[in-house]
Amino acid sequence: MNYLVGAFKPPCNVFISFADGRSRKQVPLKKENGKTVMVALFQSQENIVGEVVIEPIHGKKVEHNGVKIELLGQIELYFDRGNFYDFTSLVRELDIPGELYERKTYPFEFSTVEMPYESYNGVNVRLRYILKVTISRNFVSNIVECQDFVVRNYTPPPSINNSIKMEVGIEDCLHIEFEYSKSKYHLKDVIIGKIYFLLVRIKLKNMELEIRRRESTGSGPNTYVETETLAKFELMDGAAVRGESIPIRLFLSPYELTPTYRNINNKFSVKYYLNLVLVDEEDRRYFKQQEITMYRLLEAS
């Protein structure tokens, strides 16, 4: 029985490493099994350089039909789990068919790699980048080893960033104006604003501001929309009176936000909204929602 188990073990170990692995920034990545691992962080147009080490297990030879490494950018929709859509696919041949008896090291390089989309782990979709080494073999299954890495892309501050002014009204009962200082925010930004009560004839119990993320995947009849409330911030507890104004100051850094993603590879979008919620004494709720744009600013190291 033990002999049989051993027969299905791969005859070698495969290791993938980055040339600057020790100095490059590492970020957490949640794997499919729920565990979090630290992986290398890259951005678009960087060189991805490293080496693959193949180490035959003591006393075994590895017959193969060639060794290759691929750099893949993939989108997986969870309603179509297991089907990966490759939007980036580069390949380097590392070895011609032959036999391996001892440890062998293969350097690899992918230059100025176009990685237009960020890594993303969502409710219904995942976008990932991997290095995938394949040792092709006859009659038995290929040996495959993968190494994840994360891509984040940075945006300069927008040249135009208009404020948001909106009104909430219920005829002859309630008239509120609210203003946010801008409409585009970086991930560590602060939302600053003000709420003015122009007319209050209903008794308000409380008011809160929510940050919501809306992820839409698929298209047409196969569109799935998931809305998550990421933060709730109480603006007011108790009744408001006419002429009153309430300041808003909401720090975004404690929350796990991503940039706004619009129609990534025609597969998914991620949008963010500020949702103002008013609750009266009869527990009726009034909403006013406004989209904001999130972007990733290059952090000082």
> Distance between CA atoms of 58 and 107, rounded to whole angstroms?
23
Model confidence over 279-296: pLDDT tens digits?
A: 878 888 888 899 999 999
Q: What is the pLDDT of residue 7?
A: 54
Please give the pLDDT value at position 2.
Answer: 42
Please check the confidence at residue 257 and state whether its pLDDT lies above 80: yes
What are the CA-CA distances from residue 3 to residues 7, 9, 58, 152, 201 (Å)? 6, 10, 16, 46, 82
pLDDT of 199 over the 80 cut? no
What pLDDT does 300 receive? 56
144 and 173, same structural domain?
Answer: no
Indicate whether 156 belongs to any domain.
Answer: no
Are residue 36 and residue 102 in the same domain, yes or no? yes
Q: What's 53's domain CATH number?
A: 2.60.40.640
Mean pLDDT for the chain? 89
The identity of residue 190, as a single letter, is V
Q: Report yes or no on 1 lying in a domain.
A: no
pLDDT level of residue 10 (50, 70, 90 thresholds)? confident
Which one, of 151, 149, 142, lies nearest residue 68 by Cα?
142
Do 141 and 171 reside in the same domain of the chain? no
CB 151 within 8 A of CB 118: yes
Which residues lie across from 91 on neighbouring strands? 70
Residue 234 predicted with pLDDT over 90: no
124 lies in the same domain as 200: no
Long-range contacts of 217-220 (CB under 8 A, 24+ apart): 217/77, 217/78, 217/79, 217/122, 217/124, 217/125, 217/267, 217/268, 218/77, 218/79, 218/267, 218/268, 219/266
* 100 is a domain residue: yes
pLDDT in tens, 165-186: 888 777 777 788 889 999 999 9
Query: What is the predicted pLDDT for the residue at 3?
Result: 45
Instruction: Examine the pLDDT at 219 and tell me if it is beyond 70.
Output: yes
Task: List the one residue out of 177, 133, 137, 161 whose CA is nearest residue 14.
Answer: 133
In a shared domain, residues 16 and 74:
yes
Interacting residues of 122 by C-beta distance below 8 A, sequence separation 6+: 215, 217, 226, 268, 270
**Shared domain check, 147 and 17:** yes
Contact 39, 27 (CB under 8 A): yes
Q: Is the pTM of this model over 0.75?
A: yes
The last residue of one of the domains, among 104, 124, 151, is: 151
How far apart CA 48 and CA 149 sit, in angstroms, is: 10
CB 56 within 8 A of CB 12: yes
Kindly state whether residue 4 falls inside one of the protein's structural domains. no
pLDDT at 278: 83
d(CA 174, CA 74): 49
Q: Does the structure show a pLDDT above 90 at 79?
A: no
Look up the domain containing 270 and give its range.
164-295
Residue at which a domain ends, from 130, 151, 172: 151
- The pLDDT of residue 239 is above 80: no
Residue 78 pLDDT grade (very low, low, confident, very high; cuts 50, 70, 90): confident
168 and 147 within one domain: no
Confidence at residue 132, expressed as pLDDT on a 0 to 100 scale: 97
How many folded domains does the chain comprise? 2
Residue 67 shares a structural domain with residue 135: yes
Alpha-carbon Rg for the chain in angstroms:
26
What is the C-alpha separation between 74 and 117, in angstroms, rounded? 10
- Reported in sequence order, the residue ranges of 65-119 that DSSP labels E, i.e. its strands, are 67-77, 84-95, 98-100, 104-110
Q: Which of 99, 125, 151 is the last residue of a domain?
A: 151
* Residue closest to 240 by CA, chosen among 211, 283, 281: 281
Q: What is the pLDDT of residue 8?
A: 62
List residues bridging with 73 in a β-sheet.
Answer: 88, 129
Q: What is the pLDDT of residue 251?
A: 93
Weakest-pLDDT range from 70-79, 100-109, 159-168? 159-168
Average pLDDT (85-106) is 95
pLDDT in tens, 115-126: 999 999 999 999
Report the candidate in 53, 49, 50 with the shortest Cα–Cα distance to residue 62: 53
- From the list 288, 289, 286, the residue with the least C-alpha distance to 204 is 286
Q: Does 102 lie in the same domain as 193?
A: no
Average pLDDT on 5-11 reads 65
Query: Does any domain span residue 3?
Result: no
- pLDDT average, residue stretch 135-155: 94
pLDDT at 5: 45
Residue 172: its pLDDT value, please?
A: 73
